[in-house]
Structure 1
Amino acid sequence: MKIRCIVIDDERLAREYIINYIAKIPQLELLGDFNSPLKAMDLIKEKKVDLIFLDIQMPDITGINFMKSLDHKPDVIFTTAYQEYAIEGFNINATDYLLKPFSFERFFQAVNKVIDKFEMKSDNRNVTLDPDSIQTKIADTYLTVRADRKLYKINFDHIKFIEGQRAYVTFHTENKKITALASLKELEDALPKDDFIRIHKSYIVSVKEILSLEGNILEVNNTKLPVGKSYKDAVLKIFG
């Protein structure tokens, strides 16, 4: 499996920084690097790009406005020096948001989200499953999901937060991340209301794992997640 990617950043040194990281990850195939989003349009329109590493502040058009303009949207990992764009980046379903300068470890963590999703798609193409077998089953204190050709039992107490990615969700637990076919809306309706809260169109979190709220950024188990405007009042009630 190769994930075809491009780098878009108006600073040459920033592009070289990311290109060096890409070369260390065998699942990534670099198709090119560009100093303007407009120069990458032809390649993206041909639907040959799976993943974009995209700066936000650029002279011609911002990375966020560029992604909004695309009909066919590849996965995107924003790379920027400006933390204030984080919430808007997540609002257009960015896979991750890297604040410059970032380490290879943090870069690899972001790329792994894309790798997990592509591996899940590959498994689903190669295996025929009965529709009932891929549904998430929710009991009183746990749920079961099918992922990686296995059945997983996930205790509610072990869930830190749940991340929605189109038709997939990733369960972030104490010990690992599990990506499966599931609906974030169905999970929101089925999970215990006292124990879990929807904070964003892409996130459900465990109430007991919430550490702090600063502006529209919620810290959950040492991970910072955006709070959507329509969910802010419900989140504030947790803090009394």
Structure 2
Amino acid sequence: MMIRCIIVDDETHAIELLTMHIEQTSYLELVGTATSPVKALQMAFDQKVDVVFLDVQMPEMSGIEFMQLLNGKCKVILVTAYKDYAIEGFDHDVVDYLLKPVTLARFLKSTRKLLDLRESAAGPDDDYIFVSADSKGKLLRINIEDIIYVEGQKQYVCFFTRAGKKHLSRLSLKELEARMPAGKFIRVHKSYVLAIRYITMIHYNVVYMAHTTEMIPIGSSYKDAFMNRMKDKIIT
């Protein structure tokens, strides 16, 4: 499932930077932005929002006051130019505290914490999906842990599993990506979503996967986000 987020900042250039970072992060979906914390508060309560990227110093209302009114409705990541609010922010149980200007690498490290929180809270029903198997309404169960990668093929997606089987389903890759556990999968190309646990080697612009001889290309527009996602696992 995608993590739905909003940005609240009285500076439009700060919103633009965070928007670019979100657009490069496959598991985040931006559902709104606001320069007014009052408008953003209404947005947070009216829509399904998982996390707010929140500035601290704003003229109408401070970020701390905003969190008090939010009252735990969703997670918060503070984004500010000032270090002074870090302790107070964590006293309000924020997920992370980002200092402006926020780099993509630091942004991805922060949002990984959201994935970790989601995975730790996942229930027993999050370990499988049902996909449409044919035009007669048949639904096929596929265990999440069995999926090595998914390939988009025009109006279909093809699931490749560790048992060597392939399953076609009439679904777009974008729709599928929004419904898969984001902490376990990553998009590396306009046509491929990979299970992170099965990546065995990364060589230049190619990813090698366990249980298959297929070489998955890394698309140029996905490479930076992919390598930043894998950064914590790379030892040189």
- Normalization by structure 2: what TM-score? 0.52
User: Which residue of 2 is the match for residue 44 of structure 1?
Assistant: 44
Render the CA deviation track for 1:172-216: whole Å, top value 9, x for unaligned.
xxxxxxxxxxxxxxxxxxxxxxxxxxxxxxxxxxxxxxxxxxxxx
Match of 2:100 in 1: 100
Deviation of residue 117 (structure 1)? 1.4
| Residue aligning to 1:227 | none
Deviation at 1:120, TM superposition (A): 2.9
Counterpart Cα distance in 1 of 2:71 and 2:110: 23
Distance 1:95 1:72, change over 3 A: closer
| Conserved 8 A contact 2:41-2:66 | no
Q: Residue 183 of structure 1 corresponds to which residue in structure 2?
A: none
- How far off its partner does 1:46 sit? 2.9
The whole-number CA distance in structure 1 between the counterparts of 2:83 and 2:101 is 12
Relative to structure 1, the CA distance from residue 120 to residue 47 in structure 2 (aligned partners, 3 Å threshold; closer, same or farther) is farther
Number of paired residues? 130
2:2 is aligned to 2
Q: Counterparts of 2:13 and 2:32 in 1: how far apart (Å)?
A: 15
- Structure with larger Rg: 2
Taking CA–CA contacts closer than 8 Å with sequence separation of 6 or more, which of the two structures ends up with the larger relative contact order? 2
Q: Does 1:30 align with 2:30?
A: yes
CA contact (8 A) 1:82 1:99 kept: yes
TM-superposed CA distance for 1:47, in Å, is 5.2
Distance 1:63 1:125, change over 3 A: farther
State how far apart, in whole Å, the 2-side matches of 1:124 and 1:57 are. 41
Equivalent position amino acid for 1:32 in 2: G
Does the 8 A contact of 1:55 with 1:63 survive in 2?
Answer: yes
C-alpha separation in 2, matches of 1:44 and 1:106: 24
**What one-letter code is carried by the residue in structure 2 that aligns with 1:30?**
L
| 1:208-237 Cα distance to aligned partner (Å, 9 max, x none) | xxxxxxxxxxxxxxxxxxxxxxxxxxxxxx
CA drift of 1:91 comes to 0.4
Alpha-carbon distance between aligned partners in 2 of 1:46 and 1:72, rounded to the nearest angstrom:
15
Question: Which blocks of at least 5 consecutive residues in structure 2 are unaligned?
Answer: 128-143, 146-236
Q: Is residue 79 of structure 1 aligned with residue 93 of structure 2?
A: no
Q: CA deviation at 1:27?
A: 0.5
TM-score by length of 1: 0.51
The aligned residue for residue 11 of structure 1 is 11
1:89 corresponding residue in structure 2: 89
Return 5+ residue gaps in structure 1 as ranges. 128-147, 150-240
Letter in 1 for 2:67: M
2:58 equivalent in structure 1:
58
Task: Provide the rounded CA distance (Å) in 2 between the counterparts of 1:77 and 1:99.
Answer: 11
- Residue 51 of structure 1 deviates from its aligned partner by 0.5
The CA deviation at 1:126 is: 3.0
Question: Are 1:47 and 1:72, in contact at CA under 8 Å, matched by a contact in 2?
Answer: no
Does the CA contact (< 8 Å) of 1:45 and 1:72 recur in 2? no
* Distance of 1:36 and 1:125 partners within structure 2: 38
Written as runs of structure 1 = structure 2, the 5 A alignment for 1:137-176 is none
Q: 1:92 to 1:15 in 2, by over 3 A?
A: same
User: C-alpha distance in 1, partners of 2:87/2:43?
Assistant: 28
Instruction: Show the counterpart of 2:126.
Output: 126
Q: Percent identity?
A: 43
Q: State the AA in 1 paired with 2:106.
A: R
Any conservation in 2 of the 1:6–1:30 contact (CA below 8 Å)? yes
